Amino acid sequence: MSRKTHSYTEQRRTFLKTMAVAGGATAAVLLSGRAAAQSPEQNLSPEAEDNRGYHETPHIRNYYRLARL
């Protein structure tokens, strides 16, 4: 390998490593910012947790009605 090609390859590797580290750092900052933005007061009370999950709504009943046809 010539010296010119070796230098180009090394520069390219360094650039790609830098971009990978920068991408990971950006993701970490975004995820930590999301966690900090959520306040503990937003936790659902036990009564509200019972309403989560599957439940039939008029929209779902309409879908089931049309699917039977």
Evaluate whether residue 51 is within a structural domain.
no
Q: How many domains does the chain have?
A: 1
The string of DSSP letters for 5-26 reads HHHHHHHHHHHHHHHHHHHHHH
What residues make up the domain containing 24? 1-35
The CA-atom distances, in angstroms, between 29 and each of 17, 24, 32, 42, 62 are 18, 9, 5, 22, 43
H or E stretch covering 62: helix 58-68
Evaluate whether residue 64 is within a structural domain.
no
pTM score over 0.75: no
pLDDT of residue 60: 92
Segment 23-69, tens digit of pLDDT: 888 888 887 776 665 655 655 555 555 667 888 899 999 999 999 87
Residue with tokens 């090394």: 10
